[in-house]
């Protein structure tokens, strides 16, 4: 993670991934809820990342994701989000997954809607908050 963070050229991503690393170090028994998961094509091409921002004591985890610009609009983000939702909801302690996105980020909103998220009425640091609960 340290090498990946060091290689980041976007300050916002560097800060976010540093938060994930700090979570891994602070909560080593919950590292997978702070890890940065790589999104790759079947041929191994790295096209983005997806992560959780911890798991709260009440069973809520926040998700974050991004796809490199040249790979957007191909359904990769929705596929990755669906995969991590399935993984997260396989844990009995997880009751809900949340995400924040800027109101102007139509592509991210589309991903969240495709994956079953709905607005929950809360405005977070990055914009409106979306949530999906265990079915």
Global pTM exceeds 0.85? yes
Q: With 90 as the cut, is the pLDDT of residue 94 above it?
A: yes
pLDDT at position 20 is 87
* DSSP track, the chain: -HHHHHH---HHHHHHHHHHHHHHHH-GGGGGGT-EEEEE-TT--EEEEEEEEEE-TTSEEEEEEEE-GGGTTSSHHHHHHHHHHHHHHTSTT--EEEEE--TT-HHHHHHHHHTT-EEEEEEETTEEEEEEE--
Each domain of the chain, given as residue ranges in start order, spans: 39-133
- What integer best gives the mean pLDDT of the chain? 93
Looking at residues 31-53, what average pLDDT do you find?
A: 93
pLDDT of residue 104: 94
State in words which class domain 39-133 has: alpha beta
């Amino acid at each position: 993670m340290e090498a990946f963070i060091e290689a980041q050229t976007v300050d916002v991503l560097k800060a976010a991934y540093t938060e994930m690393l700090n979570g891994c170090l602070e909560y080593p028994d919950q590292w997978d809820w702070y890890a940065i998961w790589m999104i790759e094509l079947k041929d191994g091409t790295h096209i983005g990342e997806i992560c959780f921002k911890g798991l709260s004591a009440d069973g809520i985890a926040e998700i974050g994701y991004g796809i490199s610009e040249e790979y957007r609009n191909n359904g990769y983000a929705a596929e990755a989000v669906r995969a991590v939702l399935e993984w997260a909801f396989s844990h009995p302690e997880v009751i809900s997954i949340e995400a924040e996105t800027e109101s102007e980020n139509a592509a991210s909103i589309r991903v969240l809607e495709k994956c079953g998220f709905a607005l929950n009425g809360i405005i977070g640091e990055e914009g409106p908050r979306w949530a999906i609960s265990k079915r």
